[in-house]
Structure 1
């Protein structure tokens, strides 16, 4: 069994990053967006397709135009012939996990330069598509007949966390309001108009206690990053932050197997990432946390150890997620206001790179040295945590 102290801390860097400005892209195939963002990320690094010998992506949802062997199909479309590839699919955490896997592969000598990409027409996909995890056999037989969907599942977790730890709808609403404030600084954000707690609480109730504005935006978009060895990074156009720590974890598929609705597997992936980096939550001053719903943020804050579960509400209410707070998060506006085409993990990664380069799309901290990224996939099913450090 591997241990976190064996993770090659600082051995690799993210030297290229690009987020598509597309938010509404009807009649644009996701593979075209893959090609656009890969080309732009490589240009950001001063590299070409010929320099790439590793590739990772996940494209199994209908709006991603993927199916079986999707990694192969996308690589073919964009002209890649990698000697190492990864199609691990754990939902929104997939691209974050791909970074850790790429670091391990590079360190093992299986490849030297890896492109990780994602694209989806989450808003404009023209064909009918159902919710994921909707198979009528296997674990789904206990939920699908009753109409349980993604929002209902997150609402169950929200209800339980609120019951046990005193979190209030106003606290969740304040998360959405803060993300909108950051989005107001981001010229590419889907929604930028100011928003209040009352706006959130008066928006349509989707599934108690989650209102419409507690839920992420739905966009078309894509993004890509380039990971390479520290030695190779010295010869790229701009270099980039080092990957200091990584952890991943999974807990369940359907919600009927979730042992505790008040926490996620981030308590394990985070612990592993902190141990690998030789750091603790108190060392992190900015983070990009998956925000598919406002409750996702609340659960993640406590699971990663930034605040005790019973103190999450006060932490949010006192402005600790804001520009002058203890932990500014999702500084581009996050999935709640800026961009969420299906797997927010890629965009969280890109914003982390921009933050450490001093070029956030939204609110830029003065001189951050570290940034944590946490992805959440499925129905709070799997997580991946990365800690990046400025070079």
Structure 2
């Protein structure tokens, strides 16, 4: 039996901002604005926060600089460096710390001015790997293209099926006033776009935007007295198999296959119970791989599963309802945005993109090149 504190902690505040990528704000300023908005959303003040779990891409000391900037003196700090999966991992640690009484209110926050501050230039960092560096891969895109090519070869997945993912994401984004990219997008548009790394065109690749996101977590007994509808954390798990793509044993299978069963077991639910799925879709192949690895369809069936608008508005499974990293936002690390969207759906506040009757939401994070996988499952009080 899992020792995870199922439903004993909850997200009570959430915010995103800065996706419009207007020049002039630093990553820290964007993070601070989102953090203060999330704290206010929770009906709290910065003085109520005694745990700060923060990430800034360019600041290895953000565990100290973020609390200083916000004027908070926390009992606990944390700054997991697993890329886009860091925030789901931080939510897991926050739940454990809150349940143990080590702190009372945890802020999880991230900010980036990747687009306006760097002119759209993206670099994939990390220690050079001698078996990859000589070939000068354009990572992360090259690594994901390898996974896409392998999935196509092994399971017959088509470029049209990859394009379905991008088209579905755009349809959701068109319902989201905060999404960075809107407008019509067809399968032919995706296939005919500029090739970046075969088989991935520019429309198969995530956006490069600014943006910040933040959530506030506290214990369930306190959450019920705060103004917003709590999103209870029912299960959380992560797994890491590699850093570089050449070390992944099977390019079509990720560590989500290990993390997801643990998260489901903690939550006491199955994939079929999930109402809303928020995945880290840095590339179209991600959504296909993760739908398989999270148990929504058998391995190799992801391409066929997403066909014919199945994950678009009105389809059989609502996936990436804010538009995802492909059409809503991708400021370097996207994982916290999946969490905010899951909370927004469970609160019933998603406007035109609201999934009716959503009670269970899965928020997933992916770090590196399919490297670190983390899964969190949230629910309303109806599923406690």
TM-score range, shorter chain: over 0.9
Q: 1:146 aligns with which of 135, 153, 175?
A: 135
**1:10-159 residue pairs with structure 2 within 5 A?**
10-59=7-56, 61=57, 65-66=58-59, 68-126=60-118, 131-136=123-128, 140-148=129-137, 149-159=139-149
CA drift at 1:122: 1.4
- Local SS of the residue matching 1:97: helix
CA distance in 1, matches of 2:332, 2:115: 9
**1:127-206 residue pairs with structure 2 within 5 A?**
131-136=123-128, 140-148=129-137, 149-206=139-196
CA drift at 1:269: 1.1
TM-superposition CA deviations, 1:235-255 (whole Å, max 9, x none): 212141100011101010111
CA drift at 1:180: 0.3
CA drift at 1:309: 2.0
Q: For residue 320 of structure 1, what is the aligned residue in structure 2?
A: 310
- Local SS of the residue matching 2:363: strand
- Local SS of the residue matching 2:183: coil
Contact 1:265 1:381 in 2 (8 A): yes
Q: For residue 247 of structure 1, what is the aligned residue in structure 2?
A: 237
CA distance in 2, matches of 1:128, 1:373: 27
CA drift at 1:127: 8.3
Moved over 6 A (4+): 127-130
Structure 1 unaligned spans of 5+: none
CA drift at 1:21: 4.2
Q: 1:291 aligns with which of 275, 278, 281?
A: 281
CA drift at 1:390: 1.1
CA distance in 2, matches of 1:134, 1:21: 26
- Local SS of the residue matching 1:116: strand
Q: For residue 266 of structure 2, what is the aligned residue in structure 1?
A: 276
CA drift at 1:158: 0.5
CA drift at 1:92: 0.5
Contact 1:289 1:300 in 2 (8 A): yes
CA distance in 1, matches of 2:351, 2:157: 30
Contact 2:18 2:30 in 1 (8 A): no
Q: For residue 367 of structure 1, what is the aligned residue in structure 2?
A: 357
TM-superposition CA deviations, 1:290-340 (whole Å, max 9, x none): 000000111101011110123222211133212332311111111100111
- Local SS of the residue matching 2:90: helix
- Local SS of the residue matching 1:57: strand
CA distance in 1, matches of 2:104, 2:297: 38
Q: For residue 9 of structure 1, what is the aligned residue in structure 2?
A: 6
Which has the higher mean CA deviation after the structures are superposed, 145-154 or 120-129?
120-129
1:387 aligns with 2:377: yes
Which has the higher mean CA deviation after the structures are superposed, 77-86 or 5-14?
77-86
Structure 2 unaligned spans of 5+: none
Contact 1:332 1:362 in 2 (8 A): no
CA drift at 1:24: 1.1
**Aligned pairs, number:** 380
Which has the higher mean CA deviation after the structures are superposed, 91-100 or 20-29?
20-29
In 2 relative to 1, CA 128–210 (structure 1 residues): closer, same or farther, beyond 3 Å?
closer
CA distance in 1, matches of 2:136, 2:330: 24
